[in-house]
């Protein structure tokens, strides 16, 4: 292969890799509860306060730190979440620590389905956006009174599976960053190939 052609092939490979790395670097990993982790030894607004300090977007990952056999992470509907209904579970992660990928926009609801844990405050609701947004202002919302728990779920919990939708196109800011990095790399490689 000619040296100039080899330079163009190398430039193409480097530019493509730089664009992919730039896009992937935008996703964040959020450890639920930070140092507290995912535990029922909290007050009723621990996780809502934690969520209010974060912005969640498509491509991010939630990490739930918990001891296997003492906690789990169940996804459920808003109604079941509001009622701490641990019998209407959509899916469950029962091996700690557990990771959950946020693959689509919308509201997500999580509880620990162990008896009493949700009513003690081990529940989390978040809103996932398509692109980064300014974090919401901190506000204190009054805690809802504890509700009675339904019987514990059966051992036939459905494992969580990732949603099958595709992520939306990158935001304008990420496209701009990707474009600048691609242009910079192209100029650098072009200069390298010329000299």
Give phi and psi for 126, each to the nearest 5. Answer: -140, 160
Cross-strand partners of 92: 74, 159
Q: What is the mean pLDDT of residues 87-111?
A: 93
Q: Is the pLDDT of residue 109 over 90?
A: yes
Note whether 93 and 73 are within 8 A (CB). Answer: yes
> Could you tell me the pTM of the whole model?
0.57
What fold is seen in the domain 28-169? Immunoglobulin-like (2.60.40)
CA distance 67 to 64: 10
Q: Is the pLDDT of residue 102 over 70?
A: yes
What does the pLDDT look like over 24-78, one tens digit per residue? Answer: 447 899 999 998 899 877 777 889 999 999 999 999 999 999 999 999 999 999 9
Which residue intervals of 25-166 are DSSP H helices?
A: 46-52, 78-82
Structure confidence at residue 191 (pLDDT): 61
Structure confidence at residue 44 (pLDDT): 77
CA distance 104 to 120: 29
Average the pLDDT over each of 15-29, 125-139, 165-179 and give the range with the smallest value.
165-179
Confidence label for 150 from pLDDT (cuts 50, 70 and 90): very low
């Amino acid at each position: 292969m000619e040296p100039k052609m080899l330079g163009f092939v190398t430039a193409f490979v480097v530019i493509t890799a730089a664009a992919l790395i730039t896009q992937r670097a935008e996703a964040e990993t959020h450890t639920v509860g930070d140092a507290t982790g995912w535990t029922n030894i909290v007050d009723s607004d621990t996780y809502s306060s934690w969520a209010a300090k974060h912005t969640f977007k498509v491509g991010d990952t939630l990490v739930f730190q918990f001891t296997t056999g003492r906690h789990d992470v169940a996804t459920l509907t808003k109604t079941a979440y509001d009622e701490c209904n641990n019998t209407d579970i959509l899916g469950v992660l029962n091996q700690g620590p557990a990771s959950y990928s946020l693959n689509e926009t919308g509201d997500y609801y999580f509880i620990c389905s162990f008896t009493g844990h949700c009513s003690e405050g081990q529940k989390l609701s978040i809103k996932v956006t398509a692109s980064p947004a300014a974090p919401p202002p901190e506000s204190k919302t009054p805690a809802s009174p504890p509700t009675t728990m339904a019987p514990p779920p059966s051992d036939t919990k459905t494992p969580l599976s990732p949603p099958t939708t595709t992520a939306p196109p990158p935001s304008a800011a990420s496209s701009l960053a990707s474009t600048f990095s691609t242009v910079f790399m192209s100029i650098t490689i072009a200069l390298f190939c010329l000299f």
